[in-house]
Structure formats: C-alpha cells, structure tokens
Structure 1
Amino acid sequence: MMASLSSIGISGLQAAQLRLDSSAHNVANLNTPGFKRQTVTQQDAPNLAGTRTRLGKAREEGVTLEGEVVEQMSASHAFKANLQTLKTQEDMLGSLLDTKA
C-alpha cells in the first residue's frame, strides 16, 4: 500500500511538472510564427500505480495566453494535491511507527 501511494504521488508530481514546463514553453513561443503548442496527455497506469504522461503537439497553430494561464493554474493545483498524497503517506507511516513503538 505504501509503495503504491508513493508511486501515485510521484507520478502525479512528475505529470504536473511536465504540464507546467510545457505551458511555459508555449507561452515563451506565443509570438513565434507557425508555432504549434505542446500538449500533455495523461492516462491511468494502474499496473504502475500511477499515471502515464505523454508530450505531444497540437494540430493547429497558435497559443492563447488565457488558455495557458488556466493550464498553469490547473497543473499547480495538481502538483499540490499530489504533494499532499505524499505528506499523508508520511503521516500514516509515522502513526504506524508510533503505534508499534
């Protein structure tokens, strides 16, 4: 169970980081002619106890700043939620050790 919580939390943190990095890349290239924004897709990976994340390209050209701001906010919230998963695991393990001691 504990290994699964770690895997879930860490894969979620990595996915959120990729989303933030990709969005920053898109904003940096906002005014680049012909630029196609990067996209990030996530898929459940139960056999890996986490998520599988892939980087891709949009079909159409262009980037909307407001869309990227929303993506960054969403990724930031996902990052915080997955960090909380790891903190909860640490608290549970600490409680278990206190009970055993």
Structure 2
Amino acid sequence: MLSSMLSSGLSGMRANQTALDVSGHNVANAETQGFLPQQVSFQETGNGVTVSVTQEGFRMAAQETSGTDLTKEIVQSIQYKASFDINAKMVKTADELLGTLINTKA
C-alpha cells in the first residue's frame, strides 16, 4: 500500500511538472506570431497518472497573434502547482509512514 502511495505521488508530481513546463512554454511564446500553444492531457494509470503533450508547432499562415489564452494558462498553472503540492505531501507522508514501519520492526 505504501509503495503504491509513493508511486502515485511521484507520478503525479512528474505529470504536473510536465504540465507546468508546457504552460510556461505557452506563456513564453504568447507574443510569437503564428504560435499554437501546446496542450496537455492527463491519463490515469493503475497506480498513478501520465501526461501527454500535443505539439502543434506553428501555423502555416502567419497570423498577428498566437493562439495562447493567457488567462487560461495562469489558471491552469495554479491548478498544476496545487496538484503538485498535494502529490508532494502524499510522497512525504508515505516516506514518513515507511520510515515508521521500518523503525518499528528494528
């Protein structure tokens, strides 16, 4: 059970870090002409979560603005950060419980 909790927390941290990286990339390129923002998609696995990134690149026809919605990116970044923090607390708790179990048996 603890190893599953640890694994789930770690995969959640990795997935949310990737999502934060993508959001940062989108914000950094918000003023790039013709830029299409990347999209993230979370998928639940048996003992955690994975994330996939859709990379669309640049529009063929140059447009004056990018397709980046800064409000959406900020809201998503806050959500990803909160989720990362929750997963980090889960990892910390699993680590503490595992340490307690090991010390009890010694």
With normalisation by structure 2, the TM-score equals 0.83
Structure 2 CA distance, aligned partners of 1:3 and 1:91? Answer: 12
Indicate the percent of aligned positions where both proteins have the same amino acid: 38
**Within-5 A mapping of 1:56-75:** 56-57=54-55, 62-75=67-80
Shift of 1:95: 2.2
Aligned match of 1:81: 86
Shift of 1:94: 2.2
Structure 2 unpaired stretches of 5+: 60-65
Aligned match of 2:63: none
Quick one: which amino acid aligns to residue 10 of structure 1?
Answer: L
Structure 2 CA distance, aligned partners of 1:51 and 1:88? Answer: 19
Shift of 1:65: 1.2
Structure 1 unpaired stretches of 5+: none
Quick one: which amino acid aligns to residue 31 of structure 1?
Answer: E
Q: Deviations over 1:72-99 (max 9, x none)?
A: 1111001101101101101211222333
Q: Deviations over 1:14-73 (max 9, x none)?
A: 111111100000001101122111111011111xx1112100147x96111111111111
Structure 2 CA distance, aligned partners of 1:83 and 1:18? Answer: 15
Aligned match of 2:3: 3
